[in-house]
């Protein structure tokens, strides 16, 4: 009897989990494992796949197009993380509070975070239209600046896509920072005032230490989003012009679905996955070390 | 050390007036307790003294100097907070020395002052620890250390014991009293706990709805409250306030209680025949005898609370409730009929309408 009840207790949670587990296994875990297996093969659409061992992985280290895409991704990640982080922190500081007008502005600012990327990309294309009739070009014209190429100019395209990512991420990060600010003990600010701290000292000794968990979340999300960025680039520039905005994910997409080199695309995907996992482990380790000290 | 003077302090948050015309003098070296229920304005008043809140009108003076417009750091005050407000990323030593560092004091001097204060508060072994590695009591001691190390004219305490458990509260309360004896620094202490107020304060200021109801030494307020609010706010269990009607008998006033009992009020009370009053008697001034008896209030025991050192009887008379408290253990049980005999010399009479005290004439 005892055996049965214990067995039942063990079984019931798994029964509840089963539908989700089956769906996830079929649509997520199986493709992940098949992708990993595929990375050791040269995939052929006619005939059987050819085992190539680690050749696809070795190729990734000597692929100049992938290296260029990786460099673009790094620029993308570092810029969006730093600029996005600083900007969202500043916006959060400015928009913290319960006043009605602040709540309205906060809601307005949050709209890009919940809007489809396809829509945002279209807005970006309208704003940064390269001709003289483009919205931003018309504004620049007021200051007698000649129309810019923006997303059609290889020197500017990556910067414009980075701006889109920042615009989309800032409101989301702002909410994380505002939640962090609300959790800071207000008496710490009073104590700092009594201690004679200036506004800058309060920011340094009270606000920023109190926001370490929020910074941690924002940085981690920004890094993961940045390294795996695809939709923002694909819907705006598609990686062009002249591969100026090519990032790792668009490179993988083209390798897999345009050049049909599935094995190699799977190997690069797996390398990106492994790198993201390592990044997360490093981040969690650093965060735990900060928490302990 | 310093005296604190508040002149006609008013404070409004938008349309809501929270402090009304408060005037208060706190002597140099005095331990003053601000007490009142939630929303009485006691913490706002303390924050006004600290400079953390601006006054709407009125002036704050510390040591005779008008500090109304000065920021907290220029007021020569130090504050101990309810949540301790220790900087979590700083060690105990850094927390204690932070204000001195901001004031530009040389490092060696800061270290020496921190060490001296830490020794006084027995915090020396904890100096290199972070606040999260300390117990609640230790954190509060660090918070006090941070205030002491600055050697201010005035200490401000904002409900510093609220976050501690009952046992620790008694211990830290003793430490605060001891520190005040040793340092003699003017202290202003906010609490809603009347035991803290009675045990620590040399002066108690009772606040209600942003107004000072009464200020004075603890026993004066306890024995000589000016109204029912002060009378019932101080003392546990609370004073018995029984609705009654004045009857004059041969020039002497007596109180007719709802159950028909007639209790003497003594001569000289400024009241008239038929006046509605509240007959106030503290539980410890109510005697108790078993069974029904003339000259007292016949009641049935509703509950007996025995703490070991004290015994409190809650009893139901006809139309009102009376509590009695005494030190000795007595064989009393719920349901038992007893007679409660108030000590007539300790009765405090209040007007039933205004709640104000009806005093005896000086010459009576």
Reported as a single tens digit per residue, the pLDDT across B61-74 is 999 999 999 999 99
Going from the N-terminus, what domains does chain A have, and what CATH number goes with each?
64-292 (1.10.3720.10)
Nearest-by-Cβ selection for B81 from A187, A196, A206: A187
What per-residue confidence (pLDDT) applies to A293?
Answer: 60
- Can you tell me the ipTM of this complex? 0.86
Closest C-alpha to B145, from B160, B159, B132, B166: B160
| Cross-chain Cβ contact B85/A196 below 8 Å | no
**Most confident of the ranges A45-49, A213-217, A287-291:** A213-217
Q: Which residues of A touch B72 (CB under 8 A)?
A: 193-194, 196
Q: In the numeric block, which tokens belong to residue B223?
A: 């024995």
Distance from CA of B52 to the nearest CA of A (A): 7
Query: Which chain A residue shows the shortest CA-CA distance from B91?
Result: A293
Which of 2.30.42.10, 3.40.50.300, 2.40.50.140, 3.10.20.30 would CATH assign to domain B242-358?
2.40.50.140
pLDDT in tens, B271-284: 888 899 999 999 99
Nearest to B99 among A188, A196, A293 (CB): A196
In chain B, domain spans: 4-233, 242-358
Which pLDDT band holds residue A253 (cuts at 50, 70, 90)?
very high
Residue B364 has pLDDT above 60, yes or no: no
Nearest CA in chain A to B53: A190
Least reliable range by pLDDT among A43-47, A219-223, B230-234: A43-47
* Alpha-carbon gap, residue A281 to A283, rounded angstroms: 5
Q: Choose, out of A100, A188, A196, the residue to mutate when testing the contact with B (most B CBs < 10 Å).
A: A196
Which among B122, B227, B71 is positioned nearest to A190, based on CA atoms?
A: B71
pLDDT for A220 beyond 60: yes
Domain B4-233, CATH among 3.40.50.300, 3.30.300.30, 2.40.420.20, 3.60.15.10:
3.40.50.300
Q: In angstroms, rounded to a whole number, what is the distance separating the alpha carbons of residues A41 and B111?
A: 67
CB pair distance less than 8 Å for B87 and A190:
no
Q: Is the Cβ pair B89, A195 closer than 8 Å?
A: no
Distance between CA B262 and CA A147 in Å, rounded? 100
* pLDDT tens-digit map of A169-184: 898 899 999 999 999 9
SS3 readout for chain B: CCCEEEEEEEEEECCEEEEEEEEEEECCCCEEEEECCCCCCHHHHHHHHHCCCCCCEEEEEECCEECCCCCHHHCCEEEECCCCCCCCCCCHHHHHHHHHHHCCCCHHHHHHHHHHHHHHCCCHHHCCCCHHHCCHHHHHHHHHHHHHCCCCCEEEEECCCCCCCHHHHHHHHHHHHHHHHHHCCEEEEEECCHHHHHHHCCEEEEEECCEEEEEECHHHHHHCCCEHHHHHHCCCCCCEEEEEEEEEECCEEEEECCCCCEEEEECCECCCCCCEEEEEECHHHEEEEECCCCCCEEEEEEEEEECCCCEEEEEECCCCEEEEEECCCCCCCCCCEEEEEECHHHCEEEECCCCEEECECCCC
Tell me which chain A residue has its CA closest to the CA of residue B84. A187
Phi first, then psi: give them for residue B26, nearest 5 degrees: -115, 120
Touching check for B52 and chain A: CB below 8 Å? Answer: yes
> How high is the pLDDT of residue A1?
53
Do B254 and B347 touch, CB atoms closer than 8 A? no
pLDDT at A292: 64
CB pair distance less than 8 Å for B88 and A209: yes
Which of A193, A205, A206 is the closest to B52 by Cβ? A193
For residues A200-219, b (16+ Cβ closer than 10 Å) or e, as one string? eebeebbbeebbeebbbbbb
Q: What is the reported pLDDT for A4?
A: 66
Residues 6+ apart with CB under 8 A from A184: A206, A207, A210, A211
pLDDT band at B315 (very low <50, low <70, confident <90, very high): very high
Chain A positions touching B94 (Cβ under 8 A) are none
Give residue A2's pLDDT. 54
CB atoms A196 and B73 under 8 Å = yes
Strands B186-191 and B31-35: parallel
Q: Give the pLDDT mean for B335-347.
A: 91
**A-contacting residues in B 139-168 (Cβ below 8 Å):** 146
Q: For residue B269, which of B246, B285, B302 has the smallest C-alpha distance?
A: B246
Among A185, A190, A201, beta carbon nearest to B102: A201
* pLDDT of B55: 94
- Give the residue from chain A lying closest to B86, CA to CA: A188
Contact residues on chain A for B103, CB-CB shorter than 8 A? 196
**B219 in contact with A, Cβ within 8 Å:** no
pLDDT in tens, A97-150: 776 777 788 888 888 888 888 899 999 999 999 888 889 999 999 998 888 888
Q: Tell me, yes or no, if B184 comes closer than 8 A to chain A by beta carbon.
A: no
Cα separation of the two ends of chain A: 51
B98–A205 C-beta distance less than 8 A? yes
B87, A209: Cβ pair inside 8 Å?
Answer: yes
Confidence label for A233 from pLDDT (cuts 50, 70 and 90): very high
pLDDT tens-digit profile of A15-36?
999 999 999 999 999 999 999 9
DSSP per residue, chain A: -HHHHHHHHHHHHHHHHHHHHHHHIIIIIHHHHHHHHHTTEE--SSS--EE-TTHHHHHHTT-HHHHHHHHHHHHHHHHHHHHHHHHHHHHHHHT-S--HHHHHHHHHHHGGGGS-HHHHHHHHHHHT-SSTTSHHHHHHHHTTPPPP-GGGSTTTHHHHHHHHHHHHHHHHHHHHHHHHHHTS-HHHHHHHHHHT--HHHHIIIIIHHHTHHHHHHHHHHHHHHHHT--HHHHHHTTT-STTTT--HHHHHHIIIIIS--HHHHHHHHHHHHHHHHHHHHHHHHHHHHHHH-
Nearest CA in chain A to B156: A194
Cβ of B79 within 8 Å of Cβ of A190? The answer is yes
């Amino acid at each position: 009897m005892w055996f049965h009840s214990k067995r039942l207790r063990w079984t019931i949670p798994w029964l509840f989990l089963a539908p989700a587990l089956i769906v996830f296994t079929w649509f997520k875990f199986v493709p992940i494992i098949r992708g990993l297996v595929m990375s050791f093969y040269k995939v052929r659409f006619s005939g059987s796949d050819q085992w190539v061992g680690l050749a696809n992985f070795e190729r990734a280290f000597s692929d100049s197009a992938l290296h260029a895409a990786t460099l673009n991704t790094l620029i993308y990640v570092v810029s969006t993380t730093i600029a996005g982080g600083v900007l969202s922190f500043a916006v959060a500081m400015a928009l913290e509070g319960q006043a009605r007008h602040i709540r309205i502005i906060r809601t307005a600012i949050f709209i890009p975070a919940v809007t489809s990327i396809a829509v945002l990309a279209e807005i970006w294309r309208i704003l940064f239209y390269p001709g003289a009739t483009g919205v931003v070009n018309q504004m620049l014209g007021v200051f007698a600046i000649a129309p810019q190429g923006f997303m059609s100019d290889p020197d500017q395209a990556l910067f414009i896509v980075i701006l889109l990512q920042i615009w989309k991420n800032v409101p989301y990060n702002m909410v994380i920072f505002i939640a962090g600010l609300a959790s800071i003990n207000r008496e710490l600010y009073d104590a700092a005032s009594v201690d004679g701290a200036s506004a800058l000292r309060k920011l340094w000794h009270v606000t920023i230490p109190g926001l370490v968990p929020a910074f941690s979340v924002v940085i981690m999300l920004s890094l993961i989003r940045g390294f795996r960025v695809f939709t923002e680039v694909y819907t705006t520039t598609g990686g062009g012009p002249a591969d100026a905005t090519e990032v790792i994910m668009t490179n993988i997409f083209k390798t897999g679905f345009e050049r049909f080199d599935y094995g190699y695309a799977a190997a690069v995907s797996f390398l990106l996955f492994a790198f993201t996992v390592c990044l997360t482990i490093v981040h969690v380790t650093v965060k735990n070390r900060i928490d302990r000290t | 050390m310093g005296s604190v003077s508040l002149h006609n302090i008013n404070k409004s948050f938008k349309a809501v007036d929270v402090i009304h015309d408060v005037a208060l003098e706190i002597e140099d070296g005095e331990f003053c307790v601000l007490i009142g229920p939630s929303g009485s304005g006691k913490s706002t008043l303390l924050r006004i003294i600290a400079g953390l809140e601006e006054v709407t009108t009125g002036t704050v003076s510390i040591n005779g100097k008008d500090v109304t417009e000065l920021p907290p750091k220029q007021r020569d005050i130090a504050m101990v907070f309810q949540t301790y407000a220790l900087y979590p990323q700083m060690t105990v030593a850094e927390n204690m020395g932070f204000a001195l560092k901001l004031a530009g004091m040389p490092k060696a001097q800061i270290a020496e002052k921190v060490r001296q204060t830490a020794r006084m508060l027995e915090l020396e072994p904890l100096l290199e620890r972070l606040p999260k590695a300390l117990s609640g009591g230790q954190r509060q001691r660090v918070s006090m250390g941070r205030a002491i190390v600055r050697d201010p004219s005035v200490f401000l305490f904002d409900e510093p014991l609220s976050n501690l458990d009952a046992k620790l509260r008694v211990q830290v309360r003793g430490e605060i009293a001891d520190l005040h004896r040793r340092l003699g620094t003017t202290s202003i202490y906010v609490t809603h706990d009347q035991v803290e107020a009675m045990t620590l304060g040399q002066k108690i200021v009772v606040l209600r709805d942003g107004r000072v109801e009464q200020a004075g030494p603890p026993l004066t307020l306890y024995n000589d409250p000016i109204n029912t609010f002060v009378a019932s706010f101080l003392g546990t269990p609370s004073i018995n306030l029984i609705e009654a009607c004045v009857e004059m008998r041969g020039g002497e006033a007596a109180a007719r209680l709802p159950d028909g009992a007639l209790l003497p009020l003594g001569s000289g009370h400024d009241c008239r025949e038929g006046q509605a009053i509240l007959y106030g008697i503290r539980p410890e001034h109510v005697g108790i005898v078993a069974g029904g008896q003339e000259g007292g209030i016949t009641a049935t025991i509703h509950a007996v609370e025995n703490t070991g050192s004290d015994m409190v009887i809650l009893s139901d008379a006809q139309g009102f409730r009376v509590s009695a408290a005494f030190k000795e253990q007595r064989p009393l049980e719920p349901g038992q009929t007893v007679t409660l005999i108030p000590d007539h010399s300790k009765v405090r009479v209040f007007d039933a309408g205004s709640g104000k005290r009806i005093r005896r004439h000086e010459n009576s």
